[in-house]
Amino acid sequence: MITWNNLDTLASFKELEKVERVNLVEAMTGESGAERVKNYSVPMAEGLTYNYAAKQVDDKVLAALAKLADEAQLAEKFEALYNGEVINTGEKRLVLHHMTRGQLGEAVEADGVDKRAFYTEQQAKIADFANKVHAGEITNGAGEKFTTVVQIGIGGSDLGPRAMYLALENWAKKNDTFKMEAKFISNVDPDDAAAVLNSIDVAHSIFVLVSKSGTTLETLTNESFVKDALKNAGLDASKHMIAVTSETSPLAKSDDYLAAFFMDDYIGGRYSSTSAVGGAVLSLAFGPEVFAQFLDGAAAEDVLSKNKDVFKNPAMLDALIGVYERNVLGYPSTAVLPYSQALSRFPAHLQQLDMESNGKSVNRFGEPVDYSTGPVIFGEPGTNGQHSFYQLLHQGTDIVPLQFVGYKNSQMATDVVIQDSTSQQKLCANVAAQIVAFACGKSDENRNKNFEGGRPSSIIIGEQVNPGSLGALLAHFENKVMFQGFVWNVNSFDQEGVQLGKVLAKRVLAHETEGALKVFSDLLNI
């Protein structure tokens, strides 16, 4: 029997608050540090490992976190979710994004169909379509092959797919699975669409219009923008566009599109990279086999997330440590720092995933909570960040918990030896060095050169950014965010906070404003 309780009503949380704080400098120095790095480690899927040695935890804190996981029924709640309970209570919806990549539990029927069958069928349709495009069986109006795919979408229809595309672009080129360049149009700023259109050969481009509801204003506006461009080039827009939408949307049956592929209301935008939202553009760019490997990696990680033993469940453990940092240690933000240029936009995707899911002040029953929920998430790839905001991370007045990601191998295997090491070795040496620098610090009589240390971090270590490991990495964070939502007792699957701005923007465009909004509208010449 599942019960949904606020974090501050749980006995295990009160116990957790009483556990003695860990002195991270001491813990990570000398032999005890070496032991921690060896022991505080959980295998993930696809050769990844989650290492939490440099987090501000010890066996006592971890035992308390395990009790919290039990009392908050994290494993049971995940089970309920993947077995089809209405976990998105605000919108009265199931939460089925895991099912886009595997069957974790019972079959789930909704809208009169088996949902796993529905998602696999969509993926099969996309694969068939992509293969035909690559084979030149589906072409532009002149019978020529498409060379570029352009995704038109915003939010979850943009950030996730874009981050995944960038993550795999060079891997695919190196591994001869690269099929077509992908571009993305998202912003309602007309310069976004104009710049992308200027950079491509529209006659050989296929556009993927992505909107679940078929009503997203930015996306429909950019669709018109693109259709104008196609028309001006003397092209038939309906021969250049496909739609990814829900079956009930106005786009679903339109003759305006070469084809339509479907997702549904059980896939939140920020959780949609493994659905048709990511599937169409990534299958066109890299081939359906690559997308299938990506799904397999995510599915394998999902299976680990089912584990009731928190020490064998990396996403759950990561989530709990994050809650400890947020609600006991009081740290307000978290930085995501992948040491991989391929993951340059992965932090931006996690920023949406995390902040839109758990940036809530009411619990799932609509009652205000008296504790902090989701933190601010930000990040840039290393080593770039080291030459930017790391100054504050090392010596600022606030402590920012860190989430590193590092890989043993590069994607392209083109490297150079300078001062007896390759660039890849330098990259890895830097992430190792940073973890220890943040945790241990270094005393200096010149206080300006003094490092207090005690700044916690974890690292996910992998062999290489490739489709499988990327899927596993993505699923890890999706599940981490889900578990944190369970602990905070919030609904991680709605986003009512985005509504008010939309309503007011419409009012501005209709010139139905007064007061401050009217004056701002005038200042902006609307």
Our answer to whether residue 356 is catalytic in this structure is yes
In the bound complex, what is the minimum distance in angstroms from residue 38's beta carbon to a copy of itself?
Answer: 6
**Minimal distance, residue 366 CB to a copy of itself, in Å:** 4
Q: Which is nearer to a copy of itself, 100 or 186 (CB)?
A: 186
Q: Report, in Å, the least distance between residue 181 CB and a copy of itself.
A: 10
Residue placing its CB nearer to a copy of itself in the complex, 234 or 368? 368
Q: Is 502 a catalytic residue?
A: yes
Active-site pick, 312, 426, 502, 506: 502
Q: How far is the CB of 136 from a copy of itself (least distance, A)?
A: 25
Closest CA to 291 of 129, 526, 418: 129
Considering the complex, state which of residue 153 and residue 287 has its C-beta at the smaller distance from a copy of itself. 153
Strand pairing report for 205-210 and 241-246 = parallel
Which amino acid is residue 386, in one-letter code? Q
Rounded to the nearest 10°, the torsion over CA 210, 211, 215, 217 is -60
Of 120 and 423, CB closest to a copy of itself: 423
Selected catalytic residue, list 356, 360, 380, 478: 356
For residue 26, give Cα distances in angstroms to 17, 23, 58, 64, 453: 21, 6, 12, 21, 10
By the 8 A CB rule, do 465 and 48 touch?
no
CB atoms within 10 A of CB 318: 25
Cβ nearer to a copy of itself, comparing 12 with 421: 421
d(CA 108, CA 99): 9
Nearest to 161 by CA among 353, 384, 405: 353
> Rounded to an integer, what distance in angstroms lies between the CA atom of residue 35 and that of residue 67?
24
Catalytic residue among 18, 20, 31, 387: 387
Q: 123 or 340: whose CB is closer to a copy of itself?
A: 340
CB-based contact 179:135 (threshold 8 Å): no
| Contact present, 123 and 276 (Cβ < 8 Å) | yes
Distance in Å, CB of 456 to a copy of itself, minimum: 13
First vs last C-alpha separation in the chain: 55
How near is the Cβ of 414 to a copy of itself at its closest, in Å? 4
Amino acid (1-letter code) at residue 244: V
| Cβ burial, residue 114 (10 Å; 0-12/13-18/19+) | middle
Catalytic residue list = 356, 387, 502
